């Protein structure tokens, strides 16, 4: 019937052209592709939102931990610098068994290395073995570290340069240290 003249000598609609069902199929494919892209974008945004929420929750937790130590009834601040200007600042709470520690004046650690904080307790006849208290981010400048395990016998804090993942025992001499003498 297509291509034959109809009543009045006119040809049937669409005669000589490709079948009209192909146009909707292309539109359908474009719509499906747009929907797939939208879905992929939504998934990416959802994952990014979840990651951002986790980071925000971690930051809020760290802020709460800092606030808790700073507002403890027995909170005590102590700081010290060496001749090169490297320093440790700490607010301690023996009651909470925690300390907020920041460092200053340290260069960025070399590739594959990190600064590690140590708690050193008073021991019989001198100091006991240092206990790991956490890794500092980068040079540690402006990024306080909240550490637990701070006890009644903790007499010093020290920072060493360790392998990037940290160590169970110091592998270098302290870069900087701070005595925590009680008043």
Domain end, chosen from 38, 54, 71, is at 71
pLDDT in tens, 130-151: 999 999 988 888 788 888 888 8
Q: Residues 33, 88: one domain?
A: no
Q: Residues 113, 100: one domain?
A: yes
Domain end, chosen from 71, 100, 129, is at 71
**Share of residues in the chain with pLDDT > 90 (%):** 37
Q: Residues 47, 84: one domain?
A: no
Q: How far apart are CA 177 and CA 143, in angstroms?
A: 17
pTM: 0.67
Q: Residues 56, 90: one domain?
A: no
Boundaries of domain holding 37? 1-71
Other Cβ atoms less than 10 A from the Cβ of 42: the count is 10
Domain end, chosen from 43, 71, 99, is at 71
Other Cβ atoms less than 10 A from the Cβ of 170: the count is 18
For the chain, how many structural domains are there in total? 2
pLDDT in tens, 28-84: 888 888 888 888 888 888 888 888 888 777 777 777 878 898 889 999 999 988 888
Q: Residues 83, 147: one domain?
A: yes
């Amino acid at each position: 019937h297509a291509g034959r003249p109809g009543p009045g000598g006119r040809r049937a609609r669409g005669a000589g052209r490709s079948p009209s069902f192909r146009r909707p199929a292309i539109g359908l494919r474009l719509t499906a592709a747009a929907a797939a892209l939208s879905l992929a974008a939504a998934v990416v945004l959802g994952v990014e939102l979840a990651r951002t929420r986790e980071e925000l929750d971690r930051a809020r937790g760290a802020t709460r931990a800092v606030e808790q130590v700073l507002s403890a009834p027995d909170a005590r601040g102590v700081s010290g610098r060496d001749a090169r200007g490297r320093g440790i600042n700490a607010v301690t709470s023996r009651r909470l068994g925690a300390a907020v520690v920041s460092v200053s004046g340290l260069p960025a650690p070399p590739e594959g290395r990190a600064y590690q904080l140590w708690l050193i307790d008073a021991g019989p006849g001198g100091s006991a073995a240092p206990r790991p208290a956490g890794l500092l981010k980068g040079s540690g400048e402006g990024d306080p570290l909240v550490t637990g395990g701070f006890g009644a016998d903790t007499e010093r804090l020290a920072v060493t340069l360790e392998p990037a993942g940290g160590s169970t025992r110091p592998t270098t001499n302290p870069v900087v240290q701070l005595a925590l003498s009680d008043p």
